[in-house]
Structures are given as structure tokens and as C-alpha cells.
């Protein structure tokens, strides 16, 4: 199948490239450790010129052979590549944000190969404590576009990670989102505080220890907040309740549990019942979030994969970079919890 679009998810630490065919079908994909903070630095020739620009070098490494394989196809990118430290800054678009709004604000940079790379802007939410996202907005919009219209009227979409995002979407638009630095805090506590001194790393997931942490976050003891409860990771170890191997998963449960408890408090009070949740991503982290959401009474949790590819395809389609087709991009594969 002939490629119609090259889509890039270009973040801080990695660059993921997708070669997309008809209807957004993934023909080929690859991942490089060439995020904007660790770009290649060894000069080499590109298009007959000696190049030392890290962005050009990474782009050529990721996509050069695809571009050489046939007629040039449009290129679109999202993520930190559009930040102030990126290849070209794509100014944040303010909420509410839609596919239409983002596609009309693309910023392009001309590569040495003569190919324009179109960069999707991030999203800014103005408030007393502003919030921003870059890359996640494309994933969210990709999921929203693939859902039946009646399913997009009001949704809660979660993107677990170092900086977890929780997005409230209404009528296919990003209306509000909150950020929790849960993953980064967990890494810092484990590696750089006294809590890590008694922890023993294990490849196996101790679900009982994790569930115990989630339960504490929901209890009267948990009302003191994470700054108080996290110390129990150490004291439960010192008193023989938790082994060293159990402590990492207990701490994970505490922090994710506090995140979900806080999330419930942030939901509009007018909502009589907790909303259905769509989690974007893959891997074992989603299992942890599913368990914490279940413990907190969320009635339905659905998983969505390949959100980035679908979102980039939809933005490119709306922007006119690719011709509209009679068949929409493929719907995500959902797994009911």
C-alpha cells in the first residue's frame, strides 16, 4: 500500500515515526531515542549538505529512507517538537480545543530535504493555575473522532504517565484538563529519598501491596494527604508489615490512589454519577490505573490504543494535507474492564 502521510510523535526523550497509508492504516513504525533533549550531534551529509542540526539529523534518521522510497508525502508532527525548545515553536491554542482549531494553527518548518514538517500546537488552559499539554491533545482528539457522536457528549479521558493528564471532553472538544505529576514524584521518591533505602526492586507486580496503598489513600488516614501517608511506606517496612519487595508497589498504590481521589473531587459537582473513563496508552501502568479507578467506584473503564496515529491523521485531513476519503480512519480497539 502506498504511503499517504508520515506522522511523528516527537517528545522530550523519544521520537516515534509512523508511515500511514489509506484510511490512516499504519504501514510501518519505528522509535528512536532522539527526543528534543537528546538529539543526534554528529554532523553528516543530508541532501548534499553537511548538517550539524540535531533536529535535521533526527528527522533524516527517522524518515529519510521513507522519503527516498517514492514521491514525497506530507509530514505532520506533534509533541515537544513544537515547544519553545523545539524545532519550531507552535504557539499554544487555548481551550476549548478541537481538531478544526488545531488544524488551522499548524506551524511548518522546511527541512533540508525540501519537505515541510507541519507541527501541531499544544493546548493552554488559562486559569489562576494555568495548565498546558503538548502531544496529549492529539491523542485525545484521535480517540474522540473515532467514537460515535452520542458517545462524545461528555467524557473523562485519562493519559497515565510521568505527568498524567485527565481531560474532560464535551461534544468532541477538549474543555478542561488537570495534570498530576504522579509518575515523576514516584521516581523521585524512590531514587532520592529515605523511602528508597528499604525498597527492593522486583519485576513482579504485587497487586495486594498496590491495593493496600490505594485503600489507604481512600481511608480516614488518607485524608492527611500524600505528604503524610507516603512516610508509611517506610514505617510499614520497619514494623514488618511490608517487605522490601512490597514497598515499591505500595507506594505506587498510594500515589495513584491519591491522584484518583483528588480527581473525583475535581469533577463537576452537578454530575450525579461518576463518568465512564477512557484510558489512552498501553502497558502495565494502565492496569494499575484500572485497579485504582475500580476501587474508587468508576463504573466503566475502556482502553484505547493507537490514539496518536489517529489524531495526527485527523488533523492532517482537516488541514487539507491529505485528501478526504470515503472511509474514515479506523476505530480504536477497545478492551472493556
Domain ranges within the chain, ordered by starting residue: 5-179+304-336, 181-266
Q: Retrieve residue 129's grid coordinates.
A: 493555575
Across residues 131-159, what is the average pLDDT?
Answer: 87
For the segment 72-101, the average pLDDT, to the nearest whole number, is 96
Q: Give 136 or 148, the one with higher predicted confidence.
A: 136
CATH for 5-179+304-336, options being 3.20.20.190, 3.30.390.10, 3.30.420.300, 1.20.1600.10 = 3.30.420.300
State yes or no: pLDDT of 266 exceeds 90: yes
pTM, 2 dp = 0.90
How much is the pLDDT for 150?
A: 56
Average pLDDT value for the chain: 92
pLDDT band of residue 327 (cuts 50, 70, 90) is very low
In CATH terms, are 5-179+304-336 and 181-266 the same topology?
yes
Q: What residues contact residue 15 under an 8 Å CB cut-off, 6+ apart?
A: 8, 9, 31, 32, 33, 34, 35, 58, 62
- What pLDDT shows up at residue 145? 84
Closest CA to 49 of 139, 112, 114, 122: 112
Q: Is the pLDDT of residue 332 over 60?
A: no
Between 185 and 155, name the one with better pLDDT.
185
Query: Peptide bond before 96: cis, by omega within 30 degrees of 0?
Result: yes
Using a 10 angstrom Cβ sphere, with 0-12 exposed, 13-18 middle and 19 or more buried, the burial of residue 162 is middle
Q: How confident is the model at residue 257 (pLDDT cuts 50, 70, 90)?
A: very high
Mean pLDDT on 49-66: 96
162-204 pLDDT, tens digit per residue, is: 999 999 998 889 999 999 999 999 999 999 999 999 999 989 9
**pLDDT of 153 above 70:** no
Element (H, E) at 209: helix 207-218
Query: What number is the average pLDDT over the span 283-312?
Result: 94
111: pLDDT strictly greater than 60: yes
Give the start-end residues of each E strand in 151-240: 154-159, 164-170, 173-180
**How would CATH label the architecture of 181-266?**
2-Layer Sandwich (3.30)
pLDDT of residue 152: 60
Amino acid at each position: 500500500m502506498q504511503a499517504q502521510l508520515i506522522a511523528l510523535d516527537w517528545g522530550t526523550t523519544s521520537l516515534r515515526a509512523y508511515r500511514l497509508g489509506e484510511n490512516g492504516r499504519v504501514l510501518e513504525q519505528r522509535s528512536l531515542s532522539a527526543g528534543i533533549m537528546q538529539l543526534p550531534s554528529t554532523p553528516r551529509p543530508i541532501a548534499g549538505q553537511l548538517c550539524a542540526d540535531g533536529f535535521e539529523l533526527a528527522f533524516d534518521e527517522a524518515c529519510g529512507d521513507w522519503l527516498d522510497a517514492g514521491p514525497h508525502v506530507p509530514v505532520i508532527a506533534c509533541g515537544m517538537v513544537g515547544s519553545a525548545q523545539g524545532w519550531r515553536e507552535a504557539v499554544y491554542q487555548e481551550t476549548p480545543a478541537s481538531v478544526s482549531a488545531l488544524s488551522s494553527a499548524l506551524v511548518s518548518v522546511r527541512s533540508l530535504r525540501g519537505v515541510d514538517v507541519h507541527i501541531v500546537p499544544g493546548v493552554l488552559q488559562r486559569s489562576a493555575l494555568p495548565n498546558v499539554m503538548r502531544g496529549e491533545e492529539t491523542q485525545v482528539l484521535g480517540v474522540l473522532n473515532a467514537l460515535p457522536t452520542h458517545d462524545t457528549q461528555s467524557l473523562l479521558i485519562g493519559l497515565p504517565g510521568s505527568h498524567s493528564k485527565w481531560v474532560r471532553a464535551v461534544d468532541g472538544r477538549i474543555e478542561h484538563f488537570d495534570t498530576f505529576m504522579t509518575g515523576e514524584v514516584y521516581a523521585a521518591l524512590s531514587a532520592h529519598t529515605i523511602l528508597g533505602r528499604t525498597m527492593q526492586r522486583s519485576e513482579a507486580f504485587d497487586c495486594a501491596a498496590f491495593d493496600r496503598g490505594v485503600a489507604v489513600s481512600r481511608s480516614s488516614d488518607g485524608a492527611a494527604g500524600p505528604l503524610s501517608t507516603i512516610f508509611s511506606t517506610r514505617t510499614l517496612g520497619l514494623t514488618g508489615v511490608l517487605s522490601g519487595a512490597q514497598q515499591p508497589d505500595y507506594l505506587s498504590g498510594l500515589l495513584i490512589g491519591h491522584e484518583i481521589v483528588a480527581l473525583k473531587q475535581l469533577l463537576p459537582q452537578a454530575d450525579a454519577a461518576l463518568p465512564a473513563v477512557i484510558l489512552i496508552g498501553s502497558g502495565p501502568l494502565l492496569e494499575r490505573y484500572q485497579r485504582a479507578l475500580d476501587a474508587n467506584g468508576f463504573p466503566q473503564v475502556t482502553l484505547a490504543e493507537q490514539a496518536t496515529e489517529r489524531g495526527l491523521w485527523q488533523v492532517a485531513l482537516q488541514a487539507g494535507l491529505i485528501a478526504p476519503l470515503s472511509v474514515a480512519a479506523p476505530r480504536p480497539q477497545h478492551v472493556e474492564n
